[in-house]
Amino acid sequence: MVVAAHGIQYPMHAHNAVHPRKQKSLAKCHGMRPGPVEVVPGSARTLGPTLMSTPVLVLNASYEPINICGARRALILVLKGVARTEEQQDGLLHAARLQMAMPSVIRLLEYRRIPHQTRALSRKNILLRDRNSCQYCGQVLASGDLTLDHVIPRSRGGLSTWENLVACCHNCNRRKGSHLLQELPHMKLIREPRPFTLHTSRHLMRMIGGSDERWMKYLWA
C-alpha cells in the first residue's frame, strides 16, 4: 500500500498494515468533510477548508525535512500510524467524533529513502522551482499569468525536460517564439534551468515556513 503526500510516495510495509476493524474506523475519519470544524481555544482559524489546507512540515524518521503537505494529509498519515506529530498548532480540532491537536510538524516513523529528484515534471513544479517568475524578464506573476517555454523550441528538436522548460510570461513567450536564444542577443535566461532537487525543496520549505518558529529548528539545523 502506498500513501502519497504532495508528490512523494511512502510505501507502508506489511508490519504497518492496519487491522480491518481499524480500517473501518479510519474510513469514517477519511469520509469526514472539511466542514464544519471547530477550533478551541487559541487559534483564530475556524474555517474547516482553510484549516485543512494549512501547510505542515514533513520530516523523515531521521528528522530531516523532506516535504510539505496539507494539514488534512498530515492527519491521515498520523491516523494511519505512518507518522507522528512532533509540533502542533494552537488549539484542538473537533470534527464529528474526532478530537485531536492539529499538527504543524510531523515525522515519519520509518526512514524513507528519498530519490535525488523528488518531484514529477509538471507545470506546477516548474513554476515552483522558478518561484513564479519569468526566467527571461524576471517579472513575478500569478500562476495563471505564466506559461511554460521550451528553451530549445519543440519545432527545433527541444524536449520537455527539467533542463529545457522554464516559467515564462506571455510577452516574453511571444517575443521568443520558435527562436533559439543565440538568435536573440537581447534575450537570455536569468538562471539555468535544473531538476527539482532536495536542495530546491529545502529552499522552498524555508520560504513557506520561515515565519513559523515551530519549523525553524528543523529547517535551519
**CATH code, domain carrying 141:** 1.10.30.50
Do 60 and 75 lie in one domain? The reply is: yes
The reply to whether 43 falls in a domain is yes
Stated pTM of the model: 0.52
The reply to whether 80 falls in a domain is yes
What is the spatial distance between Cα 207 and Cα 211, in angstroms, rounded to a whole number? 8
The pLDDT assigned to 108 comes to 96
What is the spatial distance between Cα 13 and Cα 115, in angstroms, rounded to a whole number? 18
The pLDDT assigned to 141 comes to 92
SS3 at position 220: coil
Strand 2-5 relative to strand 98-108: parallel, antiparallel, unpaired?
Answer: unpaired
Q: Which cell numbers hold the place of 128? A: 515552483
Do 107 and 134 lie in one domain? The reply is: no
The reply to whether 201 falls in a domain is no
Residue with cell 517568475: 133
The reply to whether 196 falls in a domain is no
SS3 at position 110: coil
Do 10 and 91 lie in one domain? The reply is: yes
Residues of the chain under the 70 pLDDT cut: 1-51, 91, 94-98, 115-118, 198-200, 210-211, 221
The pLDDT assigned to 152 comes to 97
What is the domain count for the chain? 2
Tallying the residues shown for the chain, one arrives at 221
Do 45 and 147 lie in one domain? The reply is: no
Could you tell me how many helices (H) and strands (E) the chain has, helices first?
A: 7, 9
Domain span at residue 37 reads 2-116+210-219
